[in-house]
Chains A and B, each alone.
Chain A
Amino acid sequence: MIEPDTSRPAVDPLLAVRDLTVRYGSGADGTLAVHRATLTIERGEHVAIVGESGSGKTTLALAVAGLLPLEGVDTTTQSFRFAGTDVVRGPRHAVPHRTPGMSMVFQDAMTSLDPVATIGSQFTDVLRGVRRVSRREARSLTVDWLGSVGLHDAERVVKLRPYELSGGMRQRVMIALALCSEPKLLIADEPTSALDASLSRDVMDLLRDMTQRTGASLLVVSHDIELCRMYVDRIVVMYHGRIVDVVRADRVEQDATHPYTLALTECVPTLDSARLHRLPTLSDAARAEFDRISAEQAAGEPRTPAAARAELERVSA
């Protein structure tokens, strides 16, 4: 388990990244995937990055985790502090490769676990990479971890291989495996998008409970703002590579300062949609307007929730 880090003042956030920019390719063919993103995560805080495909949300998470490929990707940042140390010193410096102290959970448990190794040996590899433990100790830690994510016949599960587990069990194994290295930040990339509603909520319940228990912070990347707002403290909204909003999860409607944030919440189909004649959609005109607003915002124009609401009504009219 993680000991609370008492050597640092409580005001120092766990993660503070300023002006992170990621560009795929170079020159005229390059794509700006993330444009000057500034992100902080407090100790023990749960944060979600939401946005649609191509918004840069996964790229931002991978850049933070240090998992972007080293070649063909240009990543720069003004400053990058994690767990009390400057991971990146000085401006325009490459971000770290595999930031220590972070673990990642991916969308597809089937392809991210080793298909030929037993669950037990996958845990042993991770546990022995973190600290010196005997095989016997590793085995007993593994059983504890599997039990803590609700896999009650852990003694049996350690001997199995991923294909012998159900989808729900694999997700649990992957979450336990990510947490057993005792990370300070757990990053989950679209952990629920392949799952039905009840499994999605089980996975979110588990991510929240387990990170609360270990004291780790949680960063979830998702396209489902409605699901995230039930589980996290703050929501970071990305649109076309920019962070356009950072709102408290329980005050999305009241505090959103970009109309896109409000549009996102209205577009998610609900059970009541069955009674609707048409689902709300985003027109091309609305998207163009959102881009214009993002550009203004990036230039430093102050934004208010009232303006965001008025703009959304104007573009949906």
Chain B
Amino acid sequence: MRAFGRGAARHVAVHPLDLEITSSTSLGIVGESGSGKSTLSRLLVGLDQPTEGTVTLDGAPVAQLLGTRFGLRDLRRTVQYVAQDTFSSFDPRRTLRDAVATPLRVLRELEGATAEAEILPVLDLLRLDRRMLDRYPSQLSGGQRQRFALARSLVVRPRILLCDEVVSALDVSVQGAVLNMIRDYCEEHGVGLGFVSHGLPATAFVADELLVMCRGAVVERGPTQQVLDRPTHPYTISLLDAYRRGPRHLVPLAEPA
């Protein structure tokens, strides 16, 4: 559980829940803005601490791992997090080569030509031109920067990849390519996937299992196709309806009084 504030202003962002992610998981977390899905993903990678309850990695509490240098390195090596806002997640004054090489040096102790040999195949996979490595984040389009954010995580070869709204800002024609790549990569390399998004179709495509959040609580979870075909919670039903229904009149078409 994660709560913010105290007393009357106390707001529970994530209600108590149990969740397990293994290297064979592909879990989609959907919900509207404010439903707690981003807070949940930040808790999972140790960027935020639960008010109650624990997050563990291979049995070790994440809070403890964060306290030691090696623990932190193990955590980052195992779980990689790709944030929604790629503009603020890159240092604007450093080249992309620097950005992608840093996790390799810090987490895998690879430098120079060996590091380069790790980076180039990942760039090819993401269809990124290697000449872009010498550019700065501001010189790329949003779609290219998003793919570089993925590249920076994939070079670490994590066992779990956690993506927070990674395709929402991308154009539909680019979304397809990134989603195909994420799904193929995780299947081929046995990487566990946590995919957080407000876009249900994209999430349903990459994830085998869905978890639906509403106001901080998990209201529905199950195999993707089952949730799509036989939703049980009113919120899930209304969300699915929104994709299926056409326009409707919200306000009566009369002159205001």
Contacts and interface: CB of A to CB of B under 8 A. Distances in A.
Interface of A: 1, 52-54, 144-145, 147-150, 166-167, 193-202, 204-206, 208-210, 212-213, 223-225, 230-231, 263-264, 267-271, 273-276, 278-282
6 pairs of A and B residues whose beta carbons are closest in the complex:
A52-B171, A198-B242, A279-B176, A274-B204, A269-B201, A196-B198
B173 A52 contact: yes
16 contacts: A52-B173, A53-B141, A53-B171, A150-B251, A195-B32, A195-B198, A201-B242, A201-B245, A201-B248, A206-B250, A213-B253, A264-B173, A268-B172, A271-B240, A275-B225, A279-B177
Chain B contact-residue range equals 35 or more
A153 to B, nearest CB: 15
B256 A231 contact: no
A165 B134 CA distance: 44
A275 B228 CA distance: 11
Contact of B172 (A148, A194, A212, A223): A223
Contact of B176 (A54, A150, A281): A281
Given A197-B243, A274-B201, A278-B180, A267 B173 contact: yes
Contacts of A280: 176
A201 B52 CA distance: 37
A123 to B, nearest CB: 14
A282 B34 contact: no
Most chain A CB neighbours (cut-off 10 Å) among B168, B175, B199, B239:
B175
Nearest to B174: A52
Most chain B CB neighbours (cut-off 10 Å) among A54, A198, A210:
A198
Contacts of B238: 198
Interface string B139-183: 001110000000000000000000000001101111111011000
Contacts, number: 132
Contact of B205 (A149, A206, A274): A274
Most chain B CB neighbours (cut-off 10 Å) among A147, A150, A195, A278:
A278
B247 A281 contact: no
Given A223-B172, A267-B175, A274-B205, A212 B253 contact: yes
A126 to B, nearest CB: 17
Nearest to A284: B127
Given A202-B250, A212-B253, A223-B172, A196 B201 contact: no
A3 to B, nearest CB: 13
Nearest to B257: A144
A150 to B, nearest CB: 5
A197 B225 CA distance: 19
A1 B255 contact: yes
